[in-house]
Amino acid sequence: MTELRSARWLDTDSLRAFGHRSRLRQLGYGPSDYRGKPIIAIIDTGSDINPCHMHFRQRVEDVKRGVWQAGGFPLEMPAMSLAEAFQRPTSMLYRNMLSMEVEELLRSYPVDGAVLMGGCDKTTPGLVMGAVSAGLPCIFLPAGPMLRGNACGKVLASGTSVWKMWADRRAGLVGEEEMEAVERGVARSAGQCMTMGTASTMTAAVEALGLALPGSSSVPAVDSRHAQMASEVGRRSVAAVRDNLTPDKILTDAAFDNAVRVVAALGGSTNSVVHLVAMARRAGVSLDLTRFDRLCAEVPMLANIAPSGEYLMEDLFYAGGLRALMARLSELLELGALTVTGRTVGEEIAGATVYDDKVIRPLEDPLWPGGSLAVLRGTLAPDGAVIKQTAASRELLVHRGPAVVFRDYEDMERRVDEEGLEVTPASVLLLQRAGPVGGPGMPEWGQLPLPKKLLRAGVRDMVRISDARMSGTSFGTCVLHVAPESAVGGPLALVRDGDLVSLDVPGRRLDLEVPAEELARRRDTWAPGPPYYKRGWGKLYATTVRQANEGCDLDFLEYGPPTPEPPIH
């Protein structure tokens, strides 16, 4: 092992080092606790407002146990807790802020390595992006999915069951009693959403990248094996420092190829496109939408998990978990890629068994042949848009219809249920000003509500297009992440009611059938709206955020020359 970074704070004959040591004494620690031992920062994104992470208090203790056992010195460091269920306008507005906090925590303190504790949606990419930029050995500890929901004799899926129930309620089919039972029983334990939403997609993606222990992302949060896994994470974090296993050695092109392929096999969330692109750009790896689409297209969807399938994350765990799915996918993976264990992906998945073919389908009998996520381009989205075909209605994947345009979210809320709205099931609903700048923060508004009068008539899906994102637990024929977004003058800003829009997912096209001269005329009169935030983080975000196809990172945070270590004096 080379000299510990923390020794440059603690083991020198200087007044500053004396001060650091005396303050460690104040905390109750002496040299026998830390001298010559890797100091492991346990970055904890738990808080009283984050139910997905409410077991983290105990898990921090489990990690510490492992760190002590392996001869390290653990220090818990809380970081911003992005609780998806509560933050407005969207936790996505704060993903990059969390990443900055993590990067600077690791840089400014006497730390040799890190355990990154996250799981609730944006915490996972935020933690990894920050740790990658800090460049210290790190290992991700996934929160794990919550137990299956249950009410009225039915299994309930995070988000997915609620969206369905809400549409039925708007159609007048669900009563208050059932509503309350679902409210009580849909989320009934610690842990992240248990569908293949963004949380479970991203924790699996990070495991596939090699930054988490093999199999760890599938373990339910309240299973005793989760606590066992946490102490193993603690032990491994110390070894990763001793091996100098920095993220750049793990996060290679091959690692990102594996992550995208695993997401495709899981039928993962559209949000993974934005997050994986952002993480890759932090790591200096070129992952663009074209490569994403090509990799996805090669991979059959094997995981039969909601919202695209029938089962939930608990079932995936009992069926063998992600290791088993990756083993089944092994001929499509880069098996030589290194993981945080110091072993390769191939070594880590060897011998993993699928226990239930209904949950993890065989390669020759997939849920979807390839391309669960697809990237579209065309006159409406010159820089790309994304659709999750497996969660869409097959009969709408090729569709042409007149636009019904909503100028922003408030306009949509005001008018969508008006009886006089000129809309038919063949219409295409479009939402403007919902992108990274326009939202701001690119909220999950992409599953636009269907007009009540169509719901009452039995309609349950229509083509919907926006520059927003969509919850990974959602479903429907929703074209998302249109880039460039409307708030910066992308073609989406120029669409008017009645314009013909054509969607061709197999052909990967999204087009606005309006002559170029007419669009040029409309552009001459288009003006950006006033900024939502005039100060603070929101202003910094909106003035520096990249577009969706580039990962929505802030332009000054992407890969660049290394930041020097803070001066030690």
Q: How far apart are CA 532 and CA 539, in angstroms?
A: 8
Quick one: 85 or 488, whose CB is closer to ligand FES? Answer: 85
Quick one: 96 or 474, whose CB is closer to ligand FES? Answer: 474
Least distance from C-beta 157 to ligand FES, angstroms?
11
10 Å CB burial of residue 303 (0-12, 13-18, 19+) is buried
Quick one: 212 or 241, whose CB is closer to ligand FES? Answer: 212
Question: Which residues, listed in sequence order, are joined to residue 464 by a DSSP beta bridge?
Answer: 429, 478
Least distance from C-beta 91 to ligand FES, angstroms?
9
Residues numbered 128 to 187 that lie near ligand FES (CB under 6 A) are 158
Quick one: 84 or 485, whose CB is closer to ligand FES? Answer: 84
Least distance from C-beta 200 to ligand FES, angstroms?
8
Quick one: 151 or 313, whose CB is closer to ligand FES? Answer: 313
Q: How far apart are CA 259 and CA 277, in angstroms?
A: 11
Per-residue mark of binding to ligand FES, 286-305 (x: CB under 6 A): --------------------
| Residue 119: φ, ψ to 5° | 165, -45
Least distance from C-beta 365 to ligand FES, angstroms?
30
Quick one: 85 or 165, whose CB is closer to ligand FES? Answer: 85
Q: Which of 193, 273, 322, 495 binds ligand FES (CB under 6 A)?
A: 193
Q: Which of 115, 199, 227, 245 binds ligand FES (CB under 6 A)?
A: 199
What residue has token string 């005396």? Answer: 22
Least distance from C-beta 84 to ligand FES, angstroms?
4
Q: Which of 7, 17, 77, 85 binds ligand FES (CB under 6 A)?
A: 85
Residue 133 belongs to what H/E stretch? helix 123-134
Least distance from C-beta 199 to ligand FES, angstroms?
3
Quick one: 99 or 195, whose CB is closer to ligand FES? Answer: 195
Stretch that binds ligand FES, among 67-75, 192-200, 518-526, 542-550 (CB under 6 A): 192-200
Q: Which of 100, 115, 120, 349 binds ligand FES (CB under 6 A)?
A: 120
Q: CB neighbours (10 Å) of residue 439? A: 26
Task: Kindly list the distances between the CA atom of residue 145 and the CA atoms of 89, 222, 226, 315, in Å, as whole numbers in the listed order.
Answer: 24, 9, 10, 11
Reading the block at residue 422, the tokens are 């000129």
Reading the block at residue 106, the tokens are 């690791």
Q: CB neighbours (10 Å) of residue 336? A: 11
Quick one: 56 or 406, whose CB is closer to ligand FES? Answer: 56
Least distance from C-beta 547 to ligand FES, angstroms?
25
Per-residue mark of binding to ligand FES, 486-525 (x: CB under 6 A): ----------------------------------------
Quick one: 133 or 272, whose CB is closer to ligand FES? Answer: 272
- Specify the DSSP class assigned to residue 302: -
Stretch that binds ligand FES, among 191-199, 247-255, 337-345, 479-487 (CB under 6 A): 191-199
Least distance from C-beta 62 to ligand FES, angstroms?
20
Q: How far apart are CA 286 and CA 264, in angstroms?
A: 19
Residues numbered 40 to 79 that lie near ligand FES (CB under 6 A) are 52
Q: Does 84 bind ligand FES (CB under 6 A)?
A: yes
Handedness of CA 196, 200, 201, 207 (dihedral sign): negative
Reading the block at residue 350, the tokens are 């060897």
Q: How far apart are CA 64 and CA 225, in angstroms?
A: 16
Quick one: 157 or 345, whose CB is closer to ligand FES? Answer: 157
Q: What angle do CA 341, 346, 348 make, to 5 degrees?
A: 40
Q: Are 445 and 464 in contact (CB under 8 A)?
A: no
| Residue 39: φ, ψ to 5° | -90, 120
| Residue 7: φ, ψ to 5° | -65, -25
Q: Which of 90, 96, 99, 192 binds ligand FES (CB under 6 A)?
A: 192
CA of residue 372 relative to chain centroid, distance:
16
End-to-end CA distance of the chain: 25
Name the E strands within 379-477: 381-388, 398-406, 428-431, 463-466
Quick one: 203 or 304, whose CB is closer to ligand FES? Answer: 203
Total residues contacting ligand FES by CB under 6 A comes to 9
Q: Which residues bind ligand FES (CB under 6 A)?
A: 52, 84-85, 120-121, 158, 192-193, 199
